[in-house]
Amino acid sequence: MNSPCRIVVLISGLGSNLQAIIDACANKKINGQVVAVISNRPDVLGLKRAAQAGIKTETLDHTKFPDRETFDRALKALIESFSPDAILLAGFMRILSTEFTQHFAGKMLNIHPSRLPKFRGLKTHQRALEAGEKTHGASVHFVTNELDGGPVILQSQLKIKPEHTVETLAADVLKQEHVIYSQAVKWFCDGALVLNNHHVLLNGKKLDNPIQLDDIESDF
Ligand code: GRF
């Protein structure tokens, strides 16, 4: 087996996706190690989760920087100081500059709470309910300079029930996020998942469409 993948996770808040990745590394389902957790907001729960797991934490408060480019350059340098193989955005609520996303192209993944390309951006659950969608879900994708627009790897799906509220729908999707993010990170750390010329390759095969969680036997 290859040496464990060095993972840096970027967060802004609760860090439940971070926790799922930490747990999956701890129980060896992912051949990886979270070497650092970086938050752009101080004192968030995700930082406490990381500290509890004995992981190095860093806070880089974006409000202390004059502009996006300066913040992104500092963030880039901080990430690079951990020599990561993978950078995971997990509820990291920042738009990233093109210089930043290009620098980490092919190494950076994001979890998004919708079935992309539907509902890029914020308030995805509310927008899905308002649009009268029958289904909703989450997506894991490679990060490119297009916001929530990089090639999608894996998606989940659930039926929207009449009794769903924004809160209960978000909670149901979040459970699926933990599964699909862990699965995609496992593939990445195994070297099975590669971004090639804007296409996703899984085990050397180009994906014509995102993989659907319902169609695979997940390890999570
Ligand atoms: C998740 O829904 C994620 O997809 C979105 O923000 C939420 C973060 O949750 N971008 P957590 O911090 O991982 O608990």
Query: Tens digit of pLDDT for each residue in 48-87?
Result: 999 999 999 999 999 999 999 999 999 999 999 999 999 9
Task: Give me 129's structure tokens.
Answer: 């309910």
Query: What is the pLDDT averaged over residues 45-49?
Result: 98
- pLDDT > 90? residue 1: no
How does residue 5 score in pLDDT terms, banded at 50, 70 and 90? Answer: very high
**Prior bond to 66 cis, omega within 30?**
no
C-alpha–C-alpha distance, residues 72 and 112, integer Å: 21
Instruction: Give per-residue pLDDT as tens, 168-196.
Output: 999 999 999 999 999 999 999 999 999 99
Classify each residue of 165-203 as buried b or exposed e, where b means 16 or more C-beta atoms within 10 Å of its C-beta. Answer: eeeebbebbbebbbbbbbbbbbbbbeeebbbeeeebeee
SS3 for 37?
Answer: strand
Please give the share of the chain, as a percent, with pLDDT higher than 90.
99
C-alpha–C-alpha distance, residues 50 and 106, integer Å: 25
Give the catalytic positions in this structure.
112
- β-partners of residue 6 are 33
If you write DSSP's letter for every residue of 54-87 in order, what string do you get? T-EEEE--GGGSSSHHHHHHHHHHHHHTT--SEE
C-alpha–C-alpha distance, residues 69 and 46, integer Å: 25
Query: What is the pLDDT averaged over residues 83-99?
Result: 97
User: How close is the Cα of 1 to the center of ligand 1, in Å?
Assistant: 31
For ligand 1, atom 7: residue with the closest CA: 91
Within 6 A (CB) of ligand 1 lie: 11, 13-18, 46, 90-91, 111-113, 174, 177
Instruction: Give per-residue pLDDT as tens, 113-152.
Output: 999 999 999 999 999 999 999 999 999 999 999 999 999 9
- pLDDT > 90? residue 34: yes
Q: How many residues are given for the chain? A: 220
* Mean of the per-residue pLDDT values of the chain: 97
